Structure 1
Amino acid sequence: MITLNKTSLIAHVVSQVTVGDYEKFLNTQGLTGGYYPVSGLDVTMADCLKERTPNLYFLKYGGLDKLCVGGKAYTAEGQLFDLKIAPRSATGPDLHLAILGEGWRLACYREVVLRLFPIPEAESWGIAFCKNSEAAFEIFRAMMVLMINPLFARILDDEDLDIVTHKLNLPSDGDSALFFKLSGLKSMVEAQKDALIRLHEGKKIIFYWPTKISEKTELNSSLINEEGLARGEKPTKGELNLIRYLEKNPNEKETHVRSI
């Protein structure tokens, strides 16, 4: 049902496999698919491909249009055809992009070929406390300029910020905060943290790097809500619309944290 090519870092996956089972299998091989659909981990690949379900970790890995590189599909008349894997430098239309998310009106996937990634060596949560949401947004923009693509990012203000800082037993040093999660090689994550601190040195911004297991667990639960995804909980309408918008407008990723 799942065939890996560790040299090319791609996987051939039967479309009826659930995303959760797929990810668990990859993890045993030291890999990740980088895909956490907002509709939950219990859905099948077929359901996600049919609706082009947005990826919660879009900022790091991209959406299905970037992760899906080929496969096999049936036409409406029942004819099976290959969606050939093309090199990234190839030009011309990608047929799989025409099928992806169109509700099986043109064709439906029997098998999909997806990109793979090594499991990150390190992950680190960061919190940047600042005076308002505009300042928090500027921190995120600076991350994009430095090509620091977080696994996840979110701005919290007022009551929402108070709730999370209370759970973490932290003082709320400002009216707004950017919460973000970095991942990758340990040396790279540390370098990214150092770059952010140096860039904002002398400004009224306080960085906090949660290290306690309880803090990380609370942040995952409260912000990313991985546990909720495993139960199939739905994102808010605002979150869903923003992620869909980002997948269609990849050059405007920074808008992701403006309103969430």
Structure 2
Amino acid sequence: MRLRTKAYLLIGFIGLLMVTVSAVGWYALATLDRALHDVAEHQIPTLVEHKINPLINEQVGALISQDLPEVAGRYESITLMLNADRDMYQALVAEREALAASTPEAWEKAKQASEENLGQAEERVKKSLEKYDSPTLRELYQKFQEAFQAWKSVTSEVVAKAAHPDQREAATEISRAASVAHFDEARHILDVMQDEQQAQIERVLKATAERNSMIAANQRYPDDCSADRGDQPSDPK
């Protein structure tokens, strides 16, 4: 066979190969285009509608509308209790200042401080349970009210007696005994209330984590995708 003939055959073969490759490439691109079109037009909207949107509604929606407000509200409740505890301590300080007052003006100042801090403490504890409480917190609040009112009565008596020099010795004895006892009891209950509120916060956080885990599991193993769960149809015998 002549060299020229071989060259023509080689060129023809290369041309045929290029045409074949081009045809295969065009077919592959057309198939890919149809596949991408199907994904964009059908599969992605279905995925968004049936998987992504429910995930957002269940997980993010509950987190924003329920969990975060409750956690923030309970932390605010604890802050109010801490401030009430500070008010109670300031009222106790005012009681001691009334006993030590050397002038009517000093006694009057101590009396006003006592009344102001007692009122603030009572109001703050009440406000701390307006939005988020629990059966345990309501029971503790009732006990706190009883202890606080008992202390309020005693400390007010001490301050009143401190205005009279001849009654200060008796007032001092009441302050050291009954007043301190009721004060400690009320503060202890308030501490327990803070612990209970913290426990409620941990309950919410735990429930949130469990719900998120369950949602993630449902997304990983949907009921209608047995293959994803590893369920294989049994071989017919």
TM-score normalized with structure 2 length = 0.19
Greater CA radius of gyration, 1 or 2? Answer: 2
Structure with more of its chain in helix, by fraction: 2
